[in-house]
């Protein structure tokens, strides 16, 4: 017996194969198709950045920065962090790579992100997101475009009926500051009744108290002043333009006046697409307008709006995609046929026909594997067939079989 200890998967990560991998790939494939329809260009940014990129953009006091980031010093002594989200890295690239010359930019990305948190249903320490950003457009039409993209993505994934768009406005800078002052005043009057976490947030990030799930906080948060009482005329017009655009585009939404984004650079539109089919982890896609972020990274004032969606969570909501199947299984008999089969496989694949061949086994076993693969046809070839320059093409659905010239196989299986 071997004494070598088998390596184990790291907690909070996942190995995907079969239906799990197929669901994941289907979500990505639909995202890629829809982003092309909307003219969002693909973008790639590094998996790790200087830690300051995330501490500046997410805020030193946020839970992500304080508790959840995978941060390490490299051999040169620089502090690096595995990305916990996409937006900061894309904003950094916009500043450092001179992407301002192409503004406004419509960008789309997907890939792995990393957060050290307690793994649970639909949440991992290495997880994956879809991401869409419009950078350099301050018009409400950009918000409508982004939300319509999200709605069509969910529709084409077949989960739109299970998901509701919750929409709010954070107003302009004047609105947000006035509302923040009113909220702090309200929460201070009740600070003896707040949870320990909300007391901490009261000092660092008071808007986040509105998000609290603690039952001690809910009556106080529910009684807090709403933003509409502080909304400036400009902020009101912006939100009205967004909602009218969504109505015109046929995107259903519901007002969620308590929906917030805690960081100061968020403005105007905030939104979440929420489902009740995943238990407590109800948000499958969320985002908002972040007009002040790029300034925090040393760039010029640049309006922007974006969203992110968890691939794993979306994959849990969709119907299982049909299993991938090959069209043709090649069944060779004899050494010469094995060699000829390699040419047949290559020729079929080069013209777009999915084909495969078992590496071993007699004819009976190979035919059994052909049936099990779900292939439509079996191409059977032996010494006699080779001598005649043909193969036996068997329809695995009805069992009929006919001889086909080797150079006519592709046409025969497509016809």
Q: Read off the pLDDT of residues 319-359 as tens digits, 9 standing for 90 and up.
A: 889 888 889 999 999 889 999 999 999 999 999 999 999 88
d(CA 309, CA 402): 50
Q: Above pLDDT 70, what percent of the chain?
A: 95
pLDDT higher than threshold 70 for residue 113 = yes
Q: In the prediction, which pLDDT does 49 show?
A: 95
Annotated binding-site residues read: 85-87, 115, 129, 133, 261, 265-266
Chain CA centroid to CA 114, Å: 13
Taking alpha carbons only, the member of 266, 302, 274, 259 closest to residue 92 is 302
Q: What is the pLDDT of residues 164-221, one digit of tens each?
A: 999 999 999 899 889 889 999 999 998 888 898 888 888 877 888 888 888 898 999 8
pLDDT digits (tens, 9 = 90+) for 236-248: 999 999 999 999 9
Q: How far is CA 304 from CA 34, 88, 142, 196, 265, in A?
A: 20, 12, 8, 34, 10
Residue 376: predicted pLDDT: 92
* Region for residue 235 given its phi and psi (left: phi exceeds 0; alpha: psi -120 to 50; beta: otherwise): alpha
pLDDT at residue number 123: 77
Q: Does the pLDDT value for residue 133 go beyond 80?
A: yes
The whole-number pLDDT of residue 58 equals: 73
Residue with the bigger pLDDT between 89 and 119: it is: 89
63 pLDDT band, cuts 50/70/90, is low
Q: Which two tokens stand for residue 332?
A: 């060779």
Asked if residues 373 and 325 have their Cβ atoms less than 8 Å apart, the reply is yes
Which tokens is 238 given?
Answer: 């912006």
Burial class (CB in 10 A: 0-12, 13-18, 19+), 264: middle
Q: Is the pLDDT of residue 1 over 60?
A: no
**pLDDT value of residue 38:** 98
What are the chain's domains? Answer: 18-172+232-317 (3.30.930.10), 328-414 (3.40.50.800)
Residue 376: strand, helix, or coil: coil
Binding site residue list for L-histidine: 85-87, 115, 129, 133, 261, 265-266
Write down the pLDDT at residue 62: 59
Long-range contacts: 407-412, Cβ < 8 Å, 24+?
409/328, 409/344, 409/347, 409/348, 409/379, 410/347, 410/348, 410/351, 410/353
Q: Which of 6-10, 102-106, 209-213, 278-282 has the lowest mean pLDDT?
A: 278-282
pLDDT of residue 59: 64
Q: Identify the pLDDT of residue 279.
A: 63
Which structure tokens are listed for 87?
A: 């937006």
Mean pLDDT, range 392-413, rounded to an integer: 91
Distances (CA, A) of 272 to 208, 214, 285: 15, 20, 6
Can you give the pLDDT at residue 71?
A: 92
pLDDT value at residue 180: 87
Residue of higher predicted confidence among 278 and 327 = 327
Instruction: Name the average pLDDT for the chain.
Output: 90
pLDDT of residue 65: 62
Whole-prediction pTM: 0.89
Model confidence band, residue 258 (pLDDT cutoffs 50, 70, 90): confident
Of the listed ranges 24-33, 239-248, 356-365, the one predicted with least confidence = 356-365
- Structure tokens of 298? 């040393």
Instruction: Categorize the per-residue pLDDT at 122 as very low, low, confident or very high, splitting at 50, 70 and 90.
Output: low
């Amino acid at each position: 017996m071997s004494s070598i200890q088998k390596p184990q998967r790291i907690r909070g990560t996942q190995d995907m194969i079969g239906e799990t991998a197929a669901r994941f790939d289907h979500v990505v494939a639909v995202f890629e198709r829809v982003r092309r329809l909307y003219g969002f260009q693909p973008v790639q940014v590094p998996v790790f950045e200087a830690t300051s990129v995330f501490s500046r953009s997410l805020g030193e006091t946020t839970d992500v920065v304080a508790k959840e980031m995978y941060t390490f010093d490299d051999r040169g002594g620089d502090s690096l962090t595995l990305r916990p989200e996409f937006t900061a890295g894309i904003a950094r690239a916009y500043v450092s790579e001179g992407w301002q010359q192409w503004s406004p930019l419509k960008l789309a990305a997907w890939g792995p992100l990393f957060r050290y948190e307690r793994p649970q249903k639909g949440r991992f320490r290495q997880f994956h997101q879809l991401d869409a950003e419009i950078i350099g457009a301050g018009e409400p039409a950009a918000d409508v475009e982004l939300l319509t993209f999200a709605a069509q993505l969910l529709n084409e994934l077949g989960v739109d009926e299970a998901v509701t768009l919750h929409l709010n406005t954070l107003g302009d800078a004047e609105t947000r500051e006035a509302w923040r002052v009113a909220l702090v005043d309200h929460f201070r009057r009740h600070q003896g009744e707040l949870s320990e976490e909300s007391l901490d947030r009261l000092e660092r990030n008071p808007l986040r108290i509105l998000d609290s799930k603690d039952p001690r906080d809910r009556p106080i948060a529910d009684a807090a002043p709403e933003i509409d009482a502080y909304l400036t005329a400009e902020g009101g017009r912006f939100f009205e333009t967004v909602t009218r655009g969504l109505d015109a585009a046929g995107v259903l939404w519901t007002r969620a006046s308590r929906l917030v984004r805690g960081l100061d650079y968020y403005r105007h539109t905030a939104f979440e697409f929420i489902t009740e089919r995943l238990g407590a982890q109800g948000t499958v896609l969320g985002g908002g307008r972040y007009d002040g972020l790029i300034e925090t990274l040393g760039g010029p004032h640049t309006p922007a709006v974006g969203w992110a969606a968890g691939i794993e969570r979306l994959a849990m909501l969709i119907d299982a995609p049909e299993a991938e199947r090959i069209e043709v299984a090649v069944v060779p008999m004899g050494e010469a046929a094995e060699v000829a089969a390699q040419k047949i496989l290559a020729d079929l694949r080069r013209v777009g026909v999915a084909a495969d061949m078992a590496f071993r086994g007699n004819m009976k076993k190979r035919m059994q594997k052909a049936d099990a693969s779900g292939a439509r046809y079996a191409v059977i070839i032996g010494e006699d067939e080779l001598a005649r320059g043909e193969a036996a093409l068997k329809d695995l659905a009805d069992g009929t079989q006919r001889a086909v010239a080797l150079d006519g196989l592709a046409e025969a299986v497509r016809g």
